[in-house]
Chains A and B, each alone.
Chain A
Amino acid sequence: MTAVTVTPQRRIGWSVANVVVLLYAFVPIVWIISLSLKGDDTLNDGNYLPLNPTSEAYTQIFSNTDFVRALVNSIGICLIATGIALLLATMAAYAIARLDFPGKQAIVATSLLISMFPQIALVTPLFKIETAIGIFDTWPGLILPYITFALPLGIYTLSAFFREIPWELEKAAQMDGATPYQAFRRVIAPLALPGVFTTAILVFIACWNDFLFAISLTSTNSARTVPAAMSYFTGATTFEKPTAAIAAAAVVITIPIVLFVLFFQRRIVAGLTSGAVKG
């Protein structure tokens, strides 16, 4: 972009800002990592860093077939739910931001209302429905609620972004003979990428971290996701918490998210440049 304005002072200034951000993010994270590396002997010593780091907890969780299976479930369920939710939300958000049709505000309001209802009160009826139609403890049994509760956020975020897009380009495309759908796919969708990828990250994380549905709508490892599986970890005896194993699992399941974000944040930059071109 504007390489001309990069002075050493600005570089230092931003570096300081970066360091602050990294400290904010990592001071507590390192504590969690450190808990995952502590053995029984040093767990309660109050040290920020482990004195005798041990990878015992990691060996333990990866030799736990339920955990590995849960990891597979988590990845599959969340990718599918994110994909479908994004597709549906993009379509709806485009219509809401762009088109005039009856019932639009009702749709916007309804989706917001759905996201506002405390989910804890919905679990029991959902459980009943799912057992009745036979999707309890299956992937679709989790994917459907995840899509449902991701849609409101998706629709809102995306329509907010879509409203900021210069639609003159779409009109131009339409004048060139493109149908509204073609205009949407070829012209607007690429411009909307920052919003879409931002939403993808948020929806994926929300799904990845869900505990309530994961624990209530599964009963075996055929669909149980990692946050639920973690709550099944037991200590050596009833009264001991498997602190290190839980911390290790938390660290492990954060890695896919980091990869997911790494992948998508580049696309946010890409969206930015394409935006700057037309700016």
Chain B
Amino acid sequence: MRLRTLTGPGVVAVLVAALGACSGDDGGVPVINIYGSTADAGFEKVLGPCNEAAAGRYVIRPNLIPSDADSQREQFVRRLAAQDDGMDILGMDVTWTAEFAEAGWIRELEGEQAQAATEGVLQPPIDTATWKDKLYGIPRSTNVQLLWYRTSLVPDPPTTWDQVVQRSEELKSEGEPHVIGLTGAQYEGYVVGFNTILSSLGGTLVNEDSTQPTVDDKTVQALEILKSLATDGLASASLSNSQEPEVFAQLQNGEAAFAINWPYVLSAMREADPDVAEDLAWTKLPEFAEGTPAKATLGGMNYAISTYSKHPGLAFEAAMCLRNPESELNGALDAGNVPVLREVFEDPQFQEAYPMYEDILEEMETAVPRPKTPLYQNISTIVSSTLSPPSSIQPEDTAQALEEKIQDAIDGKGILP
């Protein structure tokens, strides 16, 4: 019968696979396994020189992790909780530092290592790698959103949110494309947007040591901004289902006059639609509180060394190489990773590819990390679901609900939506 012929070669194949899996480390050269960001375009250009620089003392082996942050964290957590020693360098989203450090999964960097990891690095990315005044990561890349607009529709770059809204309203009454693009879907990107508005108004989500929510009139004000954006017809009808690709598409297909999005928009638009790219311009995020520069929310990624790594010293060395100026420049040019090293911002090649570098640097001066707490994922999940959809926000009530639910999350009560 067919079934039996299937099992014959099957058993052989199983054995072969099992044997293949056993031959891990060989030749005695330590293998440094890196997880995260290794599927970036042009990563081999970064990896090759670093493996050469290792001069046979170790080999950096790139491993893939899923492309979305939730699945990445899930894999890391599962393996770290099991004290898996097969991971050495972890490419960590900036929001995981507190959680991983508190769980004891990543090494604190001290003394010379700490100094080397932070030398020549912009301060905001260092903050994202810091928890309770200790450094837990090598800052690798950073990011801040910008305000993008179509020059044909918006002749004067707006500096305040009110100007953005006003221009959008004018365009709407003229029957022109007028949408203000924002990531309003129920996911992390929505929390980034809300955190930016809230921080810019001078508010915060939780207090310094993350023991209490800090909901006040600033929160209500921030919610009012979101609410009116969603209900005044200035946002896309798809606002509550928009992530970065949708916001990008709204710019591309002529629906949006403005969009708040990351710097990748420029290179991506040149690729997707050169005509629109010609018409596209950017400026710093608008002031939400007049007279105070906006406080952009920091994105990016840091390299951490796993507590369970068998070669922490070599892993650190390898990670530093993957973060040296050449690597940073390559990552910026090929994969759109905004560097953390000051000197890369001065590189003419970088400046050519990132004509918005000055705005990025300026925003960096006031940028803020997302709440630093081991419970960040819980708080983020609660914020995005409580504020979804944006049109359902009732500023006072929603603020109160937010306060209660964040408190519950901090106390470990209740369930996540």
Q: Are any A and B Cβ atoms less than 8 Å apart in their complex?
A: yes
Give me the interface of A with B, judged by CB distance under 8 Å.
Answer: 40-41, 43-46, 66, 76, 79-80, 82-84, 86-87, 90, 123-124, 127-128, 131, 135, 137-140, 143, 185, 189, 215-216, 219-223, 228-229, 231-243
Residue of A nearest to B336 (CB): A237
Q: Is A137 in contact with B21, judged by CB distance below 8 angstroms?
A: yes
* Minimum Cβ distance to chain A for residue B81 (Å): 8
Chain B residue contacts of A82, Cβ below 8 A: 6
Given A41-B272, A231-B67, A237-B335, 18 more pairs with CB closer than 8 A: A40-B268, A43-B249, A66-B64, A76-B13, A79-B10, A137-B21, A138-B17, A216-B75, A219-B75, A222-B21, A231-B71, A232-B65, A232-B66, A233-B67, A234-B67, A238-B262, A238-B337, A239-B261
Given contacts A124-B78, A232-B39, A236-B41, contact A86 B3 (CB under 8 A): yes
Chain A residue contacts of B13, Cβ below 8 A: 76, 80, 139
Complex interface residues of chain B between 50 and 92 (CB less than 8 A to chain A): 63-68, 71, 74-75, 78-79, 82, 84, 86
Q: Is B244 in contact with A44, judged by CB distance below 8 angstroms?
A: no
B29 interfacial contact with A, CB 8 Å: no
| Complex A-B: 23 CB contacts under 8 Å | A40-B272, A66-B64, A127-B78, A137-B21, A139-B17, A139-B18, A216-B75, A216-B78, A223-B21, A231-B66, A231-B67, A233-B39, A236-B264, A236-B335, A237-B267, A238-B264, A238-B336, A238-B337, A239-B244, A240-B248, A240-B264, A242-B67, A243-B245
Chain A residue contacts of B261, Cβ below 8 A: 239
Give me the interface of B with A, judged by CB distance under 8 Å.
Answer: 1, 3-4, 6-7, 10, 13-14, 17-18, 20-21, 39-41, 63-68, 71, 74-75, 78-79, 82, 84, 86, 244-245, 248-249, 252-253, 261-262, 264, 267-268, 271-273, 335-337
Q: Which 4 A-B pairs have the closest CB atoms?
A: A237-B336, A83-B6, A139-B17, A80-B10
Chain B residue contacts of A66, Cβ below 8 A: 64
Residue of B nearest to A222 (CB): B21
* Minimum Cβ distance to chain A for residue B69 (Å): 9
Residue of A nearest to B39 (CB): A234
Q: Is A140 in contact with B245, judged by CB distance below 8 angstroms?
A: no
Q: Is A241 in contact with B14, judged by CB distance below 8 angstroms?
A: no
Q: Is B273 in contact with A41, judged by CB distance below 8 angstroms?
A: yes
Complex Cα distance, B335 from A69, in Å, reads 24
Chain B residue contacts of A240, Cβ below 8 A: 244-245, 248, 264, 268
Chain B residue contacts of A219, Cβ below 8 A: 63, 75, 79, 86
* Interface of B, helix, strand, loop or mixed by DSSP: helix
Interface contact tally, CB-CB below 8 A: 127
Complex Cα distance, B86 from A105, in Å, reads 44
Please tell me which one of the listed residues B66, B75, B249 contacts residue A44 in the complex, with CB atoms under 8 A apart. B249
Chain A residue contacts of B3, Cβ below 8 A: 83, 86-87, 90
Q: Is A215 in contact with B71, judged by CB distance below 8 angstroms?
A: yes
Given contacts A140-B17, A215-B71, A239-B244, contact A79 B336 (CB under 8 A): no
Please tell me which one of the listed residues B10, B248, B262, B267 contacts residue A84 in the complex, with CB atoms under 8 A apart. B10
Residue of B nearest to A87 (CB): B3
Q: Is B17 in contact with A239, judged by CB distance below 8 angstroms?
A: no
Complex Cα distance, B3 from A80, in Å, reads 10
Complex Cα distance, B83 from A127, in Å, reads 12
Chain B residue contacts of A237, Cβ below 8 A: 262, 264, 267-268, 335-337
Please tell me which one of the listed residues A87, A222, A232 contacts residue B67 in the complex, with CB atoms under 8 A apart. A232
* Minimum Cβ distance to chain B for residue A183 (Å): 15
Residue of B nearest to A46 (CB): B253
Residue of A nearest to B272 (CB): A40
Complex Cα distance, B336 from A223, in Å, reads 30
Chain B residue contacts of A44, Cβ below 8 A: 248-249, 252-253, 272
Given contacts A80-B13, A231-B71, contact A239 B39 (CB under 8 A): no
Q: Is B17 in contact with A222, judged by CB distance below 8 angstroms?
A: yes
Chain A residue contacts of B336, Cβ below 8 A: 236-238
Residue of B nearest to A267 (CB): B2
Chain A residue contacts of B41, Cβ below 8 A: 234, 236
Complex Cα distance, B326 from A46, in Å, reads 40
Please tell me which one of the listed residues A76, A84, A128, A241 contacts residue B7 in the complex, with CB atoms under 8 A apart. A84
